[in-house]
Copies of this chain bind each other. A is one copy, B any other.
């Protein structure tokens, strides 16, 4: 193998595929990046066997030459040191030559690296994906769907299925749900399926995969294609493929958990409410499990309090836009509320309570696309 490549494109692609590579893998070849040069360009692959990322750099893009292939071939190079090397190379072109025994020379300006490569034949094949359940979505919308749900997945390994985000498609609607059993985040959107028969219920994508994917998605409205199979999901971008394994097991039915009525309803400004809870949290951390107390007052006001006996107490009054229904005292995990308020893209929210012992709903006032559900905390 022998090629000369544009440094910036190469660095960019190497950084993308290295996101899939874990230094803790037990399969030595997976600590490497696979590099393949053929007549169309250079393809890089990184994988930790849960996530695989494949990046392609074409010979030419928009009439600019990106790669000159002198001899086709392939090699696997240690990802960690290779990523750092290409970032620091001095010239805007990089020459890569593979000699005998996978020995690889990297040249750029007056800098020469001789690296020990690994046999590319040992690198596992990427999953074969049949294009069955396929739909398209805009980059920035996908990024939002992830951002507004993935924070709510469970980090505990006791119920592995809850470490993922559930995706369902019903009537051309994609519904994304995450819960750690104390809080739930749901976000839905209309999609345009490639065929009439798109329909799935129990697709659960690991939260870790979505977090890595989110770092790669560009903030534009280009369309990408998503392909779902029984145990894999593939996100197809221009020049980049992102594969993730799906989680095994049945995701809990969350639809029935969402209360349909309410006894107390409040509309208030997202930001003022968020800041009041953030202050209350200052006295409800260490050993207090982030529990803050909430109560309705007269004059459409609410009060938020918390106490750490050794340090002191805090009392926050917040004006609401509207307060209706029964009086209420309730306690909840303030940090969970903050996590949700941070990703609500709405300046006002509506909170619907069904008594001090029941889960309550937080929704943006200006759309029906998302909701957050929280369990109260018993404080006696």
Contacts and interface: CB of A to CB of B under 8 A. Distances in A.
How many chain A residues sit at the interface, stated as a range, is 20 to 34
A84 B104 CA distance: 53
A312 B114 contact: yes
B283 A313 contact: no
A112 B314 contact: yes
A81 B311 contact: yes
Given A110-B317, A283-B81, A312 B116 contact: yes
Interface string A83-125: 0110011100000000000001000001111111000000000
A351 to B, nearest CB: 18
A314 B282 contact: no
Contacts of A311: 78, 81, 115-116
A279 B85 contact: yes
A232 B298 CA distance: 59
Nearest to A317: B110
B113 A81 contact: no
30 contacts: A81-B282, A81-B283, A84-B282, A85-B279, A85-B282, A88-B275, A88-B278, A88-B279, A88-B282, A90-B275, A90-B279, A110-B317, A110-B319, A111-B276, A111-B279, A111-B314, A111-B316, A112-B315, A112-B316, A113-B283, A113-B312, A113-B313, A113-B314, A114-B312, A114-B313, A114-B315, A115-B311, A115-B312, A116-B311, A116-B312
Given A81-B311, A114-B312, A116-B311, 9 more contacts: A81-B282, A88-B275, A90-B275, A110-B317, A110-B319, A111-B279, A111-B316, A112-B316, A113-B314
